[in-house]
Structure 1
Amino acid sequence: MALGRALSSAVPVRLLTGALLIGAVLAAATNVVEDGFGVEEAFVVFALLTGVQLAALVGLAVALGVDVRGPRRFLALAPLASAIGVILYVRAGGPILLGTWCLAALYLVVTRPSR
């Protein structure tokens, strides 16, 4: 969420980052109910919320790619790589997510506009 707001104040970016935040929090809570309390029926809700997160990540990547100019446009790939990491979570998602966001943070700092 911070990446989107750091790069753009456009309405689509703000809406998508909000949807991503809400979807992630609700999916995490649903996952606790499903796995922690053994409520198997919560899996359907968890899967739907994960789909919301994936759609928001892809949408955020597109919105940032359209709205951001210059070398920071490259950072639009971070949400897209995150969506790929979520899909591949079983095998390689954790390292993909960690590497993506560490590189995005470093790139954001290195390409900071001078004041």
Structure 2
Amino acid sequence: MSEIAVLDHDRFEEVTGGDRELERELAELYLKTAGKYLAEMVTILERDGDWSGPAHALKGASANLGISEMHELARRAEYSEPDTSLVSQMQTGLERVRALFAERDGTPHAV
């Protein structure tokens, strides 16, 4: 996934209007929400269920903020059977997002 940027900075700034406080708030909200959806997907993977719902929700949240890599991973997950490798890629991707937001504005690594 290295060919896809973690964040489309132009899209993120378009959404926030360059307001740093709003950027921090949206970053924290995204990290919480994405973490919740990813946890749901892990549970579904363990139970051999259908994870298209949380994958779709994660795809939308990621697209809205320009979080490109997670958007692409969630898009793939939405139309795939639950897969350990894909979950692992998504967990790694979310860590990259967390690190990027922490670098940008001091957003905590653990939200």
Larger Rg: 1
TM-score tier (shorter): 0.3 to 0.5
Q: What TM-score results when the alignment is normalised by the length of structure 1?
A: 0.40
TM-score (norm: length of structure 2): 0.41
Q: Which has the higher contact order (CA 8 A, sep 6+)?
A: 2
